[in-house]
């Protein structure tokens, strides 16, 4: 239930800061969608499936929230290239 306490604290902070309801909901949606998209490495089809919505609905919602896929993908790092053995060096050792 730590998440519940954290959410309660966040709501209290937002309320005391004077953040309007529409802005709070918008920011929550934006961050939630961003997190799901990051978990699926920017794959909208997989993210939409997890969210229980159609991909087009996800895309439209992202546009409404000003969430760009390029922004999501910019935060992702490509996995490192596997090291390739140098065959020439290996062959010289066997001569």
Give the dihedral of Cα atoms 40, 63, 61, 6; nearest 10 deg. 70
* Domain 2-77 architecture: Orthogonal Bundle (1.10)
Residue 35: pLDDT over 90: yes
Map out the domains of the chain as residue ranges: 2-77
Q: What is the 3-state secondary structure (H, E, C) of the chain?
A: CHHHHHHHHHHHHHHHCCCCHHHHHHHHHHHHHHHHHHHCCCCHHHHHHHHCCCHHHHHHHHHHHCCCHHHHHHCCCCCCCCCCCCHHHHHHHCC
Of 72 and 60, which is predicted with more confidence?
Answer: 60
Residue 67: pLDDT over 80: yes
With 0.85 as the threshold, say if the pTM is over it.
no
């Amino acid at each position: 239930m730590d998440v519940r306490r954290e959410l309660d604290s966040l709501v209290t902070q937002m309320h005391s800061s004077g953040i309007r309801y529409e802005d709070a909901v918008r920011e929550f949606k934006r961050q939630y969608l961003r997190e799901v998209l990051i978990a699926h490495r920017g794959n909208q089809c997989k993210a939409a499936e997890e969210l229980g919505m159609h991909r087009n609905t996800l895309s439209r919602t992202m546009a409404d929230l000003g969430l760009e896929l390029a922004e999501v993908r910019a935060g992702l790092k490509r996995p490192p290239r596997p090291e390739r053995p140098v065959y020439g060096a290996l062959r010289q050792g066997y001569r």
